Chain A
């Protein structure tokens, strides 16, 4: 009924969800040291950062991402931190245009990450997507599996990059050509094609992935994925999971399970995350980390299909203004949106129109 509050509803539901699992809200500062982003620019999905000089001449930035702010500040000492946040981030939208402030909410677990932690984060991802819409899908992959596949090819780093690009775009035909150029056998092409096309029910997909593993790194990763999928099935949230080795996060930062979430009707990925121990190591911190973020900017139109829609229009004149105000309040109490006006205002769509002017003719 009320499209304007859909985003707020989701955010408060998510806050309750994360708090119910004992996650603590983390509030990073508004501005960040620009050096933090420059040193880790590849970690950012959007590489453009708004910068300005701070009061003491230091170059500051409006954060384009929250994870880096959190990870750079916290240092778990033996314990495992379970944090969540809802913050504005400043990014340029896909396809260019000016910077926008976009709401982002997410979860970070930093410290000793075991299988239970990973499964909990995965179930929170599913809970997050389900809070937005019942029509969601979650893709899972494992950096160990895809990196292991690349390790199995004795080729130059440049060719590896090309092979990765082929995997990301499920492009088997160009990979076959690449394999020909690099002297890789038909078996490699067949294996690549099978990995790129893995899909269907998550459990049978991880079994297929296990069967295709050609080295220890791949089979370890497939084992981890299998455990995760069966745990999620046991928890009753394993139905909308796909295995998809074409989703990829930067291998310099991510090292284990990775996730991408989708909502039916939204053309781009709305959630991404994964295991990022390597970022911690880069920031000279010990321990492991896993987390995810939901990008509410991508959901703007999903939440508000028609921002011009108002449930009731009440037209009034001098005689009927008191009655119009009374009716307005009554409808608002019932949860409707109301606009009172002397004439039909342009630029809005109304569910129902009540004309109190005619009643006093």
Chain B
């Protein structure tokens, strides 16, 4: 039995349809269900739907053998897992954005609003820039508009939200896409099964 943690939402559904295409479908799977676990004894697979930012936790702690998680969450949380495959979906970019007329005022620490505290710290440490991190959980774009922060570090997909709020991208930190991650112990004890899954998935993704 392979336990797979999928992120709730569009990305998880796409990941499920990929997995189902390569023979890891689940008979009792229903879309838009409130059920959190789907099992398929015959196929030897079990799916959990969890909050996207929690997938890596389930995998790291072995509740799931593998999971699908965004590179943003891997970079910010540095979970102790193997990153087996780039699924080339859910693509976006981790960016620094600010108001259209913003200029860096180097005479004082930069105020950075973000959900990704560690990403922001690491990025600015690399630049040797002193920052003040403001941890937010959503609507990050609001912070510079209200003058609470100078910049934001956030995921940008199309840039429409930024544009509508008179913000723009000033730097790209790294590209993001969904990754297949595996628990390090499962990788040993279920090595054959996991490698087969990763292999098939890789062929499907690169088709």
Interface residues of A (CB under 8 A from B): 93, 95-98, 100, 300-301, 304, 306-308, 346-349
Say yes or no for B89: interface residue by CB 8 A criterion: no
Q: How far in angstroms is the closest Cβ of chain A from B116?
A: 15
Among A100, A306, A346, A348, contact of B109 (Cβ-Cβ < 8 Å): A100
Give a binary string over B95-130; 1 marks a CB under 8 Å from any A CB, 0 the rest.
000000001111111000000000000000000001
Contact among B106, B108, B133 with A300 in the assembled complex (CB-CB below 8 Å):
B108
The residue from B103, B108, B131 contacting A348, defined by CB atoms under 8 A apart: B103
In the complex, A307 Cα to B108 Cα: how many Å? 8
- State how many angstroms separate the Cβ of A350 from the closest Cβ of chain B: 11
- Residues on B lying within 8 angstroms of A by beta carbon are 103-109, 130-135
- CA–CA, A301 and B132, complex, Å: 13
Contact across chains for B130 and A307 when beta carbons are under 8 A apart = no
Point out the residues of chain A lying under 8 angstroms from B135, CB to CB.
95
CA–CA, A349 to B132, complex, Å? 23
Q: Which residues of B contact A348 (CB under 8 A)?
A: 103
**Closest 4 A/B residue pairs (Cβ):** A307-B105, A307-B107, A347-B103, A308-B105
Contact partner, A95, options B106, B107, B108, B134, Cβ 8 Å: B134
For this complex, 5 residue pairs linking A to B, each with C-beta atoms less than 8 Å apart, are: A95-B134, A97-B133, A98-B130, A307-B106, A347-B103
**Interface majority SS (helix, strand, loop, mixed), chain B:** loop
Q: Which residues of A contact B105 (CB under 8 A)?
A: 304, 306-308
**Is B133 a contact of A304 with CB atoms below 8 Å?**
no
Enumerate chain B residues within 8 angstroms of A300, measured Cβ to Cβ. 108
Residue of A nearest to B134 (CB): A95
- The reply to whether A346 and B103 contact each other, CB–CB distance below 8 Å, is yes
The chain A residue sitting closest to B103, CB to CB, is: A347
Q: In the complex, A346→B105 CA distance in Å?
A: 11
Beyond A95-B135, A100-B109, A307-B107, 8 extra complex contacts between A and B, CB < 8 Å: A95-B134, A97-B130, A98-B130, A307-B106, A308-B104, A346-B103, A347-B106, A348-B103
Q: How far is the CB of B119 from chain A (nearest CB, A)?
A: 15
Whether A308 contacts B134 by the Cβ 8 Å rule is: no
- Nearest-CB distance from A149 to chain B (Å)? 36
Q: Complex Cα distance A308/B105, Å?
A: 6
CB distance from B113 to the nearest CB of A (A): 11
Chain A residue numbers with a CB within 8 Å of B107 are 304, 307
A356 to chain B, nearest CB (A): 24
Q: What CA separation (Å) do A97 and B133 show in the bound complex?
A: 7
Query: Residues of B contacting A93 with CB < 8 Å?
Result: 109, 132
Chain A nearest CB, measured from B189 CB (Å):
39
Residues in A neighbouring B104, C-beta threshold 8 A: 308, 347
Whether A304 contacts B108 by the Cβ 8 Å rule is: yes
Q: Measured between C-beta atoms, what is the minimum distance from B110 to chain A in Å?
A: 11
Beta-carbon nearest neighbor of B135 in chain A? A95
